[in-house]
Amino acid sequence: MRLLALLAVAVLLTVVQARAQVYEPYDGYDEDRGYGYDDPYSPYPPPPYYDPSPRYQEPLYDRRAPSTRSARGNIVIATREHTLIYTTASGEQFVYPIAVGREGKQWYGTTRVVSKRLYPEWRPTPSMRQKNPRLPAVVKPGPNNPLGTRAIYLADGLLRIHGTNDPSSIGTNASSGCFRMYLEDVEELYDMVQPGTRVIVQR
């Protein structure tokens, strides 16, 4: 009987010790899952959760007629509608669902496309890496890159239209000022727009 009791205690201690070595996954930095990021115009916005395997969600394609008119050759971003409208020089319109900046991180006004980058790298800011030392200095192109496969730089390079590794964020206020698109959408837009294209960001 004493041998059985000792055996039970040994098994219990083994289970308790095994449980004590299990670490819960890191689930964010603060209540709103921010990165302590205070500059909406930084060239390096944070990823939504920096999840190497973001959950899959069916694309939120919304090709409704835009509620705003755009001059030919312009991009219009309707922030409240989470919509980007590009009107070609011939008058054809392309309407895309997007993610926009969180409250307090939104920018409105008129700017232009200054450059484009194919398969951009993402470089976390020093403050992001201080909060999360697991972030690498550089995220090379690939499925983990928060900028996706294309980046269109605006406002002298301080704002961007880019892809995302978190398609579930499209249609929401999720970024730190930049505009996220589905990968297939940003690739299509990237091929059409050129530096100098006027971009109007509306409320």
The residues carrying an active-site annotation are 162, 178
Residues near 189 by Cβ (< 8 Å), separated by ≥ 6? 84, 86, 94, 96, 150, 152, 161, 181
75 pairs with which residues across the strands? 86, 199
- Which helix or strand (DSSP H or E) is residue 187 part of? helix 183-192
Do residues 97 and 171 make contact, with C-beta atoms less than 8 angstroms apart? yes
118: CB partners within 8 A, 6+ apart: 149, 150, 190
Q: How far apart are CA 189 and CA 154, in angstroms?
A: 14
How far is Cα 70 from Cα 88, in angstroms, rounded to an integer?
10
**173 burial level (CB within 10 Å; 0-12, 13-18, 19+):** middle
